[in-house]
Structure 1
Amino acid sequence: MPPNPPPLITRPEGLYCPDGDFYVDPLRPVPRALITHGHADHARAGHGAVMATRQTLDIMALRYGADFTQSRQVAEGVCRIGGVEVSFHPAGHVLGSAQVCIAGPGGRVVVTGDYTRTPNAACAPWEPVACDILVTEATFALPVFRHPDPQDEITKLLSSVAAFPDRAHLVGAYALGKAQRVIMLLRAAGYDAPIYIHGALQKLCDYHIAQGIALGDLRPATVARGKKGDFAGAIILAPPSAFAATWAQRFPDPVISFASGWMMVRARARQRGVELPLVISDHVDWPQLTQTITELDPAETWVTHGREDAILRWCEMHQRKARPLRLVGYEDEPE
C-alpha cells in the first residue's frame, strides 16, 4: 500500500474521505454523502447531496419523500470527486445495494456496506473488488453463524403449510429486501399461489416489480376478506412489528414465522414468539466473511457495525492486519 494516509478516516458523523470531502453512509446529515443501500441505518434523509445507485435513490425517495436531499447524483462508472476516484459495485444485499470503492493516493478502499455472497434473485449479485483496505460489516461475525441454504428454509415453510392447511402462516420480513427475497424463494420453489402482503410492503414490492423483479400474484392482507377462515393455508408477509398489533388477529390460528439470520439463535426466536424460525439472511455469515478477506487479501481490514472481536482475532491468527472502527448507530438487521 502507498505510504500516503488512507483515503478514509472516522469522524463522529461516520466514515469521511478528506480528499473528496464526502462521507459514506453517514450517521447524521452531512453536506455530501455516498450511500451504499436504502436501509434506514445506512440511508438517512437530510443530506445536502447524495450519490448512490439509481435504485437506491429511488428507494430513498419512496421512503422519505422526493425532497429527501437537496441534490442527487446517480453513481455510474468511475467518477472523480476531488482528489479520489469513486465507483459503485453490486453488494448482493438488497435491490440497488452497492459497495463503494474509493481510489486515491493512499490506495484503494472498498466500503462494503451490507453484503452477502449468497445468490439473491431480488438484486444483482455481490462482486469482488480488489482493494488495499477492506471495510467490512461484522453482523454475523462469529464462527457459530453458518447460514443454511435459504431454499431449504423455504422448504420448511412449505412443509408447514402442507401440514397445517387450516392455519395461516405469517412470515415476518423487513420491507426492503427480505420480503421480496422470501417471495422470490417461494416462487423458485414452485409456489405459484397468491401471496398476501401487509400494506407496509406494498410500495417497495411495486417498485421491485417495476424494476423487472417478477414477484407473481401478490394480494393485500390488510383488507378484510370476510371470515378468518378465508386465510386458511395462506402465506402472509408483514413487517415483524405488525405481529404485536391487532392486525395479526384477523388470521386463523396463525403460525408465526420470521425470516432472519438471527433465527439461528433460539432465544431470539422465543423472545419474538416465533413458532417457525426461518434462517434467511442478507448478510455474510462467518465462512463467507473469512472467505472474502482471504480472497481479496487486503493489506488491512477495517471491521464495523457488528461483532468485531472474533473476526479481529481471526485476522490476528492469520497474520492479517485489522482494526475495529466502532461506529455507533448501525443496526444488525434494521426493520
Structure 2
Amino acid sequence: AVAFGERVEVNGVTVGFHPAGHVLGSAQISVEMNGLRIVASGDYKRGIDPTCAPFESVPCDVFITEATFGLPVFHHPLPRVETAKLLTSIKQFPERTHLVGAYSLGKAQRVIRLLRDNGYAEPIYIHGALARLCDYYVSQGIDLGDLRPATLEKSDPSAFKGAIVVGPPSAFQERWARRFNEPLIAFASGWMMVRQRAKQGGVELPLVISDHCDWPELLETIKEISPQAVWVTHGREEALVRWCELQGIAAKPLHLVGYEDEGD
C-alpha cells in the first residue's frame, strides 16, 4: 500500500496519491514527468466527512475531474439538515421502522456517523451486507456507536418499531424490507434532489446526502487548482466543459469506456 503524500517512481514517472474525500481510503492520483503534472480526481467531494480524509487540492497542469452532478441545478443542502429530517420523522412516526437506503461502502457509514454527530444514541440496525465494512471502519478508529444486526428471523418485526435500519438500496426492493413494522423508506443520495427519481423508487423520505461534488464545489475546485486544462468525465460533461472555456481554460469531455454507472 502507498500512503497519502507518498511519491513513487515508475519508469521515470513520479506517481503520488492524495485524499479524494469520497470514502475511506479514496485517492486522487497524480503523475508527473518532465515538468508536466496530471491529476486524476476519481470520485470526490468537498464537504466535511468524519469517516474519511478530506479532499486535497493538488496544483497541476491537467486536471481530470468527475462531473456526476455537473449541472448548475445541483446545489446540495448541508448533510446535517438532511439528517435532521430523518430524526424529525422518527419523532413524528414513532410507530414506524425507518429503513434508510445507503450504499454499503462509504455512504452507509457516513449516514450512521451523521446520526451520531446529531445526537442519535439509540442502537442502529444494519443489514448483513454492511457488517464487514462497518467493522472495518470501526477498526480504523471511526466511531459508529451501537450497531446491531437487523435480523428478522430471530425477532418480531414490531421489535424494530421506531428504530433506524440501514441497508443497501437493493435490499429494500426485496421481501426482507416489507417484513418490518410499517416501514418508512428513506434513501440517502445526491440524486434525491430529483423528485421523480424518489417517486419512481418508492422513497417516502428522500435525503439529499451525496459523496460527490455539487456544481458550486466543482467550480470551486477548478478555481483552487488553477490547471491549464481540464478533462471532464463521468456525468454531465458539457456544462462543465463550457464553463471552463468561458474562464479561458482549455477543456474537453473524456469518455471512459465502461465508466457510465451513476454514483450517488
| Aligned counterpart in structure 2 of residue 222 of structure 1, from 136, 151, 156 | 151
Cα shift at 1:250: 1.8
For 1:240 and 1:304, the matched residues in 2 are separated by: 25
Residues 304-325 of structure 1, C-alpha deviations (whole Å, 9 max, x = no match): 1111011011112222110111
Q: Is 1:168–1:255's contact at 8 Å kept on the other side of the alignment?
A: yes
8 A contact 2:60–2:227 mirrored in 1: yes
Q: How far did 1:329 drift? A: 1.8
Inter-CA distance 147–75: structure 2 relative to 1 (3 Å threshold): closer
- Larger RCO, structures 1/2 (Cα 8 Å, 6+ apart): 2
Percent identical among aligned pairs is: 60
**Among candidates 123, 130, 134, match of residue 205 of structure 1:** 134
TM, length-normalised to structure 2: 0.97
* CA distance in 1: counterparts of 2:35 and 2:257, whole angstroms: 25
**How far apart are 1:75 and its partner, in Å?**
6.8
Q: In structure 2, how many angstroms separate the alpha carbons of the residues matched to 1:75 and 1:317?
A: 34
For residue 78 of structure 2, what is the aligned residue in structure 1? 149
How do 1:114-125 and structure 2 match up within 5 A?
Answer: 114-125=43-54
Q: 1:224 Cα deviation (Å)?
A: 2.9
SS in 1 for 2:90: helix
* Contact map agreement 2:44 2:212 (CA 8 A) in 1: yes
1:240 to 161, 169, 177: 169
Rounded Cα–Cα distance in structure 2 between residues aligned with 1:277 and 1:225: 30
Question: Amino acid of the residue matched to residue 79 of structure 1?
Answer: V
Cross-structure match for 1:333: 263
Displacement of 1:118 after TM fit?
0.3
1:90 aligns with 2:9: no
The yes-or-no answer on 1:100 pairing with 2:29 is yes
- Give the aligned partner of residue 178 of structure 1: 107
How far is the alpha carbon of 1:106 from its aligned partner? 5.8
Cα deviation 1:224-269 (Å, max 9, x = unaligned): 3432211110000010000111110221111100000000000110
- Looking at structure 2, the residues matched to 75 and 144 of structure 1 have their Cα atoms a distance apart, in angstroms, of 33
1:317 partnered with 2:260: no
Q: Distance in 2 between matches of 1:328 and 1:260?
A: 24
- How many residues align structurally? 263
Cα offset, 1:130, TM superposition:
0.5
Matched position secondary structure for 2:99 = strand
> Could you say what secondary structure the match of 2:120 adopts?
coil
Q: State the SS of the aligned residue for 1:311.
A: helix
- Mapping of residues 1-335 of structure 1, within 5 Å: 53=2, 77-105=6-34, 107-330=36-259, 331-333=261-263
Q: Which amino acid aligns with 1:84?
A: V
Counterpart Cα distance in 1 of 2:151 and 2:47:
32
Name the CA shift for 1:279/1:170 in 2 (closer, same or farther; >3 Å): same
Contact kept, 8 Å, 1:100 with 1:111, in 2: the verdict is yes
State how far apart, in whole Å, the 2-side matches of 1:221 and 1:200 are: 11
Alignment gaps of 5+ in structure 2 = none
Q: Which amino acid in 1 is paired with 2:44?
A: Y
Rounded to whole Å, the distance in 2 between the matches of 1:300 and 1:90 is 21
Question: What amino acid maps onto 1:143 in structure 2?
Answer: P
Q: Distance in 1 between matches of 2:179 and 2:139?
A: 30
Contact kept, 8 Å, 1:77 with 1:87, in 2: the verdict is yes
- Which runs of no fewer than 5 residues in structure 1 stay unpaired? 1-51, 54-73
Distance 1:75 1:124 in 2: 10
Give the distance between the partners of 2:50 and 2:112, measured in 1 at CA. 10
Partners in 1 of 2:186 and 2:27 — Cα distance?
Answer: 29
